[in-house]
A and B are shown apart, each in its own frame.
Chain A
């Protein structure tokens, strides 16, 4: 366990034992950037991501006694963030369905992402071709540097599935953008 992880676990212990908001504030300061970056890449909207990040930390506060301390705190936190994202997505989908039933075009559809493959592929376009699950796993792996085991814990997917999701994501990106290995080697 790294020194940073040990410090995280000490802070978690302080929060759980005495509801220490200052210790929790320190945990937020340490990890807000990772969580917000993760959610920004999932939602592709900074303000929505920041709202979700706030909700994520509120959920984390409530769920903290359930943190076993076996894995890294950031891995656990990204799991909470991913669950928060999925819940909000489900709510948005229900809202869209209700709007569709009422004969309105949902905002989500209006904002649907278009991929212009003529331009140089950037991260936004890469993310657009991935499913939510693939995007989450790829972001955890490449942006947050989580190991396959940590991603497995965070997403409740078996390690083998995590590997295949990463492989599938890479394949999608490769085929959509016609990327040859030697071009970037």
Chain B
């Protein structure tokens, strides 16, 4: 009720208001492809956003593969130098380097796949 009264009060216009109404009035602007241009810009941006993640992951994998391999080899070397008699683990518990790399890649691919499915 109060808001209706406020709206009515706003609508009571004096002569200058009426003059300003007519001065400020302008004809509608034709779309002329404006909306299509904006939508195309948005679609381009969406595609870039969708592509950027896989590309970044791919690049990251390529760039990080060799250093990660070196790191794992170093770690494996360190494990070899440890006195094995002090470590009582079941036989075959320490994974081989190839298995570690394979598991890592599977995890990354899995995350990537889930993300694609989500999109």
Contact = CB atoms under 8 A, between A and B. Distances in A.
Given A37-B29, A123-B23, A139-B24, A21 B46 contact: yes
Interface residues of A, number: 38
A32 B38 CA distance: 10
Given A29-B35, A54-B38, A148 B10 contact: yes
Contacts, number: 87
Q: Is the interface of B mostly helix, strand, loop or mixed?
A: helix
A20 B39 CA distance: 10
Contacts of B3: 149
Given A25-B35, A28-B34, A28-B35, A37 B42 contact: no
Interface stretch (A65-73, A85-93, A100-108, A176-184): A176-184
Determine which residue in B10, B26, B41, B43 has the highest number of CB atoms from chain A within 10 A of its CB, and name it.
B26
Contacts of A25: 35-36, 38-39
A24 interface: yes
A54 B39 CA distance: 10
A143 B25 contact: yes
Contacts of B29: 32-33, 36-37
Nearest to A28: B35
Interface of A: 19, 21-22, 24-25, 28-29, 32-33, 36-37, 40-41, 50, 53-54, 57-58, 61, 122-123, 126, 138-139, 142-143, 147-149, 170, 173-174, 179, 181-185
**Chain A to chain B: the 7 pairs with minimum beta-carbon distance, closest first:** A185-B15, A142-B24, A28-B35, A184-B19, A143-B24, A33-B28, A25-B39
